């Protein structure tokens, strides 16, 4: 029996579908009712911009996991599942560090706690179990330049996310909207999702990058829309205000352009990109 067939195991698919309803519920509450988090969420999120950023990550995650439930190629999911594991782990740690800030008599809090205390183990187990079915076969490859840029973005995301999480007090006076240590650590977990870009260092296939690009476009588009909705919460005099706004605009345009170029080239008759054998995911 050939175990290297790039299959996605039933456990991975079922787990993905089990997590999706929680993410969709979180998205609806935080993006459409951000003023009511004191009643509807695990803790009061203020201002609304923070709630909508977390909601953007939830919808991106829900899209990724819905696609995972019907995906046949493990290589498409591998980097994303590691990022989901890190995201859930950081939120679980933040919950312990800021236990007193949560609304303990709320059902939302116990759902939150159950999710972030179990998801890191369950999702990492899916990655660990499924990775032995990875296939070391060729595919359309990223150019060295594109691969380098994406890996650099991944490093920047991990460094920035780690800084937000480890030293939140450093950013309270720099951030363009009001943060608390808990909300700063939450944003750090969201930013760390961008670390999925480092997957191109191990696997430079277009098919592996494809899903990450789609998720990124969804998340960043929602964050930019949130910034328009909550423009009155922004203090443009803060040191990180313009770098953040410009950075996310560039990231959105570049990601959308790369995704569009991929499909345009792929649709051209006779188009073929170089292929080679790669190490498994």
> Given this model, what pLDDT does residue 37 score?
97
Q: What is the DSSP string of 77-104?
A: HHHHHHHHHHHHHHHHHHHHHTGGGS-T
Closest-CA residue to 219 (of 192, 199, 242)? 192
Chain centre distance of CA 24: 14
User: CB under 8 Å to 189, separation ≥6 — which residues?
Assistant: 86, 87, 90, 91, 94, 161, 165
- CA dist 243 and 8 (Å) reads 39
pLDDT per residue as tens digits for the range 151-210: 999 999 999 999 999 999 999 999 999 999 999 999 999 999 999 999 999 888 888 888
- Contact status, residue 200 vs residue 209, Cβ threshold 8 Å: yes
Instruction: Give 3-state DSSP helix, strand, coil % of the chain, rounded to 5.
Output: 75, 0, 25
Give percent of the chain above pLDDT 70.
91
Going from the C-alpha of 149 to that of each of 143, 160, 197, 250, the distances in angstroms are 10, 16, 9, 13
The single-letter DSSP state of residue 42 is S
pTM over 0.85: yes
Three-class secondary structure of residue 141 per DSSP: strand
- What confidence score (pLDDT) does residue 163 get? 98
What pLDDT was estimated at residue 221? 97
pLDDT at 277: 43
Please tell me the distance from the alpha carbon of residue 69 to that of residue 169, in angstroms, as a whole number: 39
pLDDT of 258: 87
For 212, the 3-state DSSP assignment is helix
Give, as one character, the DSSP assignment of residue 70. Answer: T
Q: Tell me the sheet residues that pair with 205.
A: 141
Cα-based angle 79, 111, 82 (whole degrees, multiple of 5): 10
How much is the pLDDT for 71? 93
pLDDT the model gives residue 4? 61
Q: Which residues of 37-72 are buried (b: 16+ CB within 10 A; e: fewer)?
A: beebbbbebbbbbbbbbbbbbbbbbbbbbbbbbebe
Positions of the chain with pLDDT under 50: 1-2, 269-281
Which of 25, 78, 80 has the alpha carbon at shortest distance from 54?
A: 25
User: What are the counts of helices (DSSP H) followed by strands (DSSP E) for the chain?
Assistant: 9, 0
pLDDT at residue 134, rounded to an integer: 83
Q: What is the DSSP letter of 233?
A: G
Question: What are the boundaries of each domain within the chain?
Answer: 10-266
Rounded-to-10 torsion of CA 194, 200, 205, 206: 30
């Amino acid at each position: 029996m050939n175990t290297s067939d790039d299959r996605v195991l039933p456990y991975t698919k079922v787990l993905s579908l089990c997590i999706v309803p929680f993410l969709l519920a979180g998205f609806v509450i935080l993006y459409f009712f951000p003023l009511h988090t004191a009643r509807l969420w695990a803790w009061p999120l203020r201002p609304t911009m923070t709630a909508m950023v977390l909601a953007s990550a939830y919808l991106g995650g829900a899209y990724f996991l819905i696609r995972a439930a019907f995906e046949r190629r493990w290589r498409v999911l591998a980097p994303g599942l590691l990022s989901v594991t890190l995201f859930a782990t950081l939120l679980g740690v933040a919950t312990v560090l800021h236990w007193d800030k949560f609304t303990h008599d709320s059902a939302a809090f116990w759902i939150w706690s159950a999710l972030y205390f179990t998801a890191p183990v369950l999702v990492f187990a899916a990655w660990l179990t499924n990775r032995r079915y990875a296939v070391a076969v060729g595919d359309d490859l990223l150019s060295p330049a594109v691969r380098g840029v994406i890996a650099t973005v991944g490093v920047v995301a991990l460094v920035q996310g780690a800084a937000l999480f480890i030293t939140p007090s450093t950013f309270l006076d720099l951030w363009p909207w009001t943060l608390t240590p808990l909300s700063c650590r939450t944003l750090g977990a969201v930013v760390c999702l961008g670390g999925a870009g480092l997957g191109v260092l191990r696997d430079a296939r277009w098919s592996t990058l494809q899903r990450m690009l789609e998720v990124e476009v969804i998340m960043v588009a929602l964050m930019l829309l949130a910034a328009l909705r909550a423009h009155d919460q922004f203090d443009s005099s803060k040191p990180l205000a313009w770098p953040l706004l410009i950075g996310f605009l560039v990231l959105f345009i570049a990601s959308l352009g790369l995704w569009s170029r991929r499909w345009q080239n792929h649709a051209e008759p006779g188009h073929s990109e170089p292929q080679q054998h790669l190490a498994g995911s």
